[in-house]
Structure 1
Amino acid sequence: MDGGFEGQVARIVEGFYPRSHQVEIVDFGPIPGGFSRETFRFDAIVHAAGGQQRHQLILRKDPPPAVALLETSRAIEHDLIEAVRLNTTVPVTQSLGYEMDRSVLGEAAMVLRRADGNSMTTDLFHDGPDVDQVDDVVRHLCESLVELHQTDIATLNPNGDLDDPRHVGIDVASWDRYMDSTFDYYLDHYSQINRDPMLCLLLDVFLTLRRTKPRPLPLSVVHGDFNPANFLYADGRVTALIDWENARVGDPREDLGWMAMMDGLSNTSIMSHPADEGGFLAYYNTLTGYEITEQEIGYFVLFGSANIAVPINAAINRRVLLENRELLHLYLIQSSAPALPGMAQLLQYPGVPA
Structure 2
Amino acid sequence: MMGDVEGKLATLIARLHPAAEHVEIAGFMPIPGGFSRETYRFDAIVRSADGEATHPLILRKDPPEAVAILHTSRADEHDLIESVRRNTSVPVTESLGYEMDRSVFGEAAMILRCADGSPTTSNLFNGGCDADQVDDVIRHLCESLVELHQSDIAAIDPGGKLDDPRGVGIDTSSWDSYMDSTFEYYINGYDDIDFDPSICILLDAFLTLRRNKPRPLPLSVVHGDFNPANFLYADGRVTALIDWENSRIGDPREDLGWMVMMDSLSNTSVMSHPVDEGGFLAYYNKLTGLDISEQEIGYFILFGTANIAVPVNSAIKRRIAGQSTELLHLYLVQSSAPALIGIARLLQYPGVPA
What's the TM-score, normalizing by structure 2?
0.99
TM superposition shift of 1:18: 0.6
User: Identity of aligned pairs, percent?
Assistant: 73
How far apart are the structure 2 equivalents of 1:7 and 1:165? 32
Instruction: Name the counterpart of 2:81.
Output: 81
Q: Which structure 2 residues correspond to residues 172-211 of structure 1 after superposition, within 5 A?
A: 172-211=172-211
C-alpha offsets along residues 284-336 of structure 1, whole Å, 9 cap, x if unaligned?
Answer: 00000000000000000000000000000000000001111100000000010
Q: Which structure 2 residues correspond to residues 275-294 of structure 1 after superposition, within 5 A?
A: 275-294=275-294
Instruction: Name the counterpart of 2:265.
Output: 265
SS at structure 1 position matched to 2:184: helix
- Tell me which amino acid in the other structure corresponds to 2:234: A
TM superposition shift of 1:195: 1.3
How far apart are the structure 2 equivalents of 1:154 and 1:14? 33
SS at structure 2 position matched to 1:80: helix
How far apart are the structure 2 equivalents of 1:140 and 1:32? 27
- Tell me which amino acid in the other structure corresponds to 1:142: C
- Tell me which amino acid in the other structure corresponds to 2:142: C
SS at structure 1 position matched to 2:21: strand
C-alpha offsets along residues 20-71 of structure 1, whole Å, 9 cap, x if unaligned?
Answer: 0211000000000001000000000001113110000000000010000000
- Which ranges of structure 1 fall in alignment gaps of 5 or more residues? none
Instruction: Name the counterpart of 1:326.
Output: 326
TM superposition shift of 1:353: 2.9
Instruction: Name the counterpart of 1:341.
Output: 341
- Tell me which amino acid in the other structure corresponds to 2:157: N
How far apart are the structure 1 equivalents of 2:222 and 2:342? 24
How far apart are the structure 2 equivalents of 1:48 and 1:204? 61
2:138 is the alignment partner of 1:138: yes
How far apart are the structure 2 equivalents of 1:138 and 1:315? 35
How far apart are the structure 2 equivalents of 1:78 and 1:353? 43
Contact kept? 2:195, 2:316, Cα under 8 Å: no
- Tell me which amino acid in the other structure corresponds to 2:6: E
Instruction: Name the counterpart of 2:106.
Output: 106
How far apart are the structure 2 equivalents of 1:322 and 1:14? 43
- Which ranges of structure 2 fall in alignment gaps of 5 or more residues? none
TM superposition shift of 1:351: 1.2
TM superposition shift of 1:3: 6.5
- Tell me which amino acid in the other structure corresponds to 2:132: D
How far apart are the structure 1 equivalents of 2:13 and 2:333? 38
How far apart are the structure 2 equivalents of 1:346 and 1:37? 30
C-alpha offsets along residues 98-131 of structure 1, whole Å, 9 cap, x if unaligned?
Answer: 0000011110000000001010000001110011
Q: Which structure 2 residues correspond to residues 38-117 of structure 1 after superposition, within 5 A?
A: 38-117=38-117
TM superposition shift of 1:352: 1.5
How far apart are the structure 2 equivalents of 1:101 and 1:22? 23
SS at structure 2 position matched to 1:240: strand
How far apart are the structure 2 equivalents of 1:259 and 1:292? 14
- Tell me which amino acid in the other structure corresponds to 1:308: I
4+ long deviations beyond 2 Å: none
Contact kept? 2:224, 2:246, Cα under 8 Å: yes
How far apart are the structure 1 equivalents of 2:297 and 2:283? 14
Contact kept? 2:22, 2:48, Cα under 8 Å: yes
TM superposition shift of 1:260: 0.2
C-alpha offsets along residues 178-224 of structure 1, whole Å, 9 cap, x if unaligned?
Answer: 00000000011100001111011110000000000000000000000
C-alpha offsets along residues 129-188 of structure 1, whole Å, 9 cap, x if unaligned?
Answer: 011110000000000000000000001100000000110100000000000000000011
SS at structure 2 position matched to 1:65: coil
How far apart are the structure 2 equivalents of 1:15 and 1:222? 32
Q: Which structure 2 residues correspond to residues 222-301 of structure 1 after superposition, within 5 A?
A: 222-301=222-301
Contact kept? 2:226, 2:258, Cα under 8 Å: yes
Count of residues paired in the alignment? 353
SS at structure 1 position matched to 2:111: strand
Instruction: Name the counterpart of 1:7.
Output: 7
What's the TM-score, normalizing by structure 1?
0.99
- Tell me which amino acid in the other structure corresponds to 2:42: F
TM superposition shift of 1:226: 0.2
How far apart are the structure 1 equivalents of 2:162 and 2:75? 11
